[in-house]
Amino acid sequence: MMKNNIKPSDKEYVASTYGRFDLEIVSGKGSYVYDEKGKEYIDMATGIAVNTFGLCDEEWINAVNEQLTRFQHVSNLYYSEPCVRLAELLAKRTGCKKTFFSNSGAEANECAIKTARKWALENKGEGYYNIITLKNSFHGRTVTTLAATGQDVFHTTFNPFTEGFLYAEANRLDTVEALVKEYKCGAVMMELVQGEGGVLALDKDFVDGVFALCKENNMLLVIDEVQTGNGRTGSLYAFQQYGICPDIVTTAKGLGGGLPIGATMFFERTENTLTAGTHGSTFGGNPVSCAGAVNIIERIDDAVLKGVKERSEYIVNELTGADGIKSVSGLGLMLGIETERDAGEIIKECMDRGVLPIKAKNKVRLLPALNIPMDTLKKAISVIKAVAKGE
C-alpha cells in the first residue's frame, strides 16, 4: 500500500510547538511500534509514561470499547458509572477521600493549586496564598502551572505569570524553612522524582522533613504524581513508598493507559474544600477515559509492581558503571541515564538501531511499559549500552 508522506503537511498545518523526530509511527503492539516503512522499534518511552501496559493492550481495549459502545460522554450534570468506580478504586488504593477528574496533568495541578488557595483562605486567613515549589520542578504548561514550575527558562515570554509561587532547593530543607519563616505560605507542592528536571528522586530525609514542616506550620502538602504515579516507580503512587501522607495528590499521564485524563485526589484535610460551583470541567470524568483508567488501576497489583522493581534492578545493574555511562538516577521504571556523549546523539543512534528512549535535560530517559517483556527489555538495554560505549 502506498502511504502519503505526512511530514510536509504536518510542518505546514500543525502548530510548530514540537521539535519532532524524523519518525512517523503508524502502528504498535505491546512494547513495539512500527514506522511507515514497517521498521520495528522497542518503545522505551510509552508516549512519555502514558501507555502503561504498552500499545493496543487487549484487556484495556476491551474495557474502553465496552464503554465506547455504551455512551461516549455525558455532562457532569448527570451521574455516570465509570468515574464513580474510578474514584472509589483510587480511594481504596491510596487512602484519599475524594477525587476531581480533569483531562491532563496541568489541569490536575491547576485544580490542586485552586484547592490549596481556598483551603488556606478558609483555614489560615487572608494572604496565605503562597505555595512553595522546588527548583528544577515541572508542573505543566498553563500560565499558572508554568509559574509553579521552578525553572527560570519557563518564566519568560508569557508574562505576567500567576503570582504566589516561591522556589526552594530540592533536598535542602533549610531553604524550605527559610521561605516558610519569611512569607505567609499555605502549601508545598513537589514531585517525588523530578521527571522533566532530570529524573532525580528526592531524598527520603528531605521528604520527611517537608512533611513534618507542613504539619508544624499547618500547611498542605501537595504531591505531583503526574509522571511518578500509576505504578511507574514501583508502588501504585510514589508517596506510598516514601511513607508520607499528603493532603493532595495529582496524577495524569499513565492513569488512562493512553486516553486523556487527569485526577486530583483529596485526602482528609481537603476533601470538602471544593464545593458546588467552585471548579468544573466539561470533559472531566469522561466515561471512556475513566473506563480505561479503571482497567489500568485494577491491574496494577503486587505482581505488576514486583515486575516493575525487577525490571528496574535489571536496567540499573546493567547500566551502572558501564562504559560511556556516568550515572543512573530515578526510581522504578522512571530512569535517567547520564552519558559521556551527548544524550541527543545517543537517542538518535538508538533510534537508528530500533530503540526509542527520550530525553530529560542532559539525560537519556527510560519510561518503558510496566509489563515490557524481559527479553524485549534486554534487547533494548544492550543497544543503549553499545551506543553509550560508542560501538
Ligand X SMILES: *Cc1c(COP(=O)(O)O)cnc(C)c1O
Q: Under the rule (CB under 6 A), what is the footprint of ligand X?
A: 104-106, 109, 138-140, 191, 195-196, 224, 226-227, 252-253
Q: Which is nearer to ligand X, 28 or 140 (CB)?
A: 140
Q: How far is the CB of 151 from ligand X (least distance, A)?
A: 12
Q: How far is the CB of 66 from ligand X (least distance, A)?
A: 25
Q: How far is the CB of 376 from ligand X (least distance, A)?
A: 24
Q: Which is nearer to ligand X, 155 or 389 (CB)?
A: 155
Alpha-carbon span 367 to 233, nearest angstrom: 10
Determine if residue 38 is left, alpha or beta; phi over 0 gives left, psi from -120 to 50 gives alpha, anything else beta. Answer: left
Q: Which is nearer to ligand X, 112 or 346 (CB)?
A: 112
Q: How far is the CB of 175 from ligand X (least distance, A)?
A: 20
Q: Which is nearer to ligand X, 252 or 383 (CB)?
A: 252
Q: Where are the alpha helices (DSSP H) in 19-80?
A: 46-49, 58-68
Q: Please provide the distance, in angstroms rounded to a whole number, between the alpha carbons at the two ends of the chain.
A: 36
Q: Which is nearer to ligand X, 117 or 365 (CB)?
A: 365
Q: How far is the CB of 309 from ligand X (least distance, A)?
A: 21
Q: How far is the CB of 254 from ligand X (least distance, A)?
A: 10
Alpha-carbon span 338 to 361, nearest angstrom: 10
Q: Which is nearer to ligand X, 48 or 386 (CB)?
A: 48
Per residue, what are the HEC states of 238-300? HHHHHCCCCCEEEECHHHHCCCCCEEEEECHHHCCCCCCCCCCCCCCCCHHHHHHHHHHHHHC
Q: How far is the CB of 194 from ligand X (least distance, A)?
A: 8
Q: Which is nearer to ligand X, 94 or 376 (CB)?
A: 94
Q: Which is nearer to ligand X, 225 or 349 (CB)?
A: 225
String of DSSP letters for 342-361: -HHHHHHHHHHTTEE-EEET
Q: How far is the CB of 181 from ligand X (least distance, A)?
A: 27
The cell numbers describing 134, all together, are 522546588
Question: What residue type is 60 in one-letter code?
Answer: W
Of the candidates 166, 198, 195, the one whose C-alpha atom is nearest the C-alpha of residue 183 is 166
Alpha-carbon span 21 to 349, nearest angstrom: 12
Cis peptide before 160 (omega within 30 of 0): yes
* Pair 352, 24: CB distance under 8 Å: no
Alpha-carbon span 218 to 319, nearest angstrom: 43
Q: Where are the alpha helices (DSSP H) in 30-172?
A: 46-49, 58-68, 81-94, 105-123, 143-148
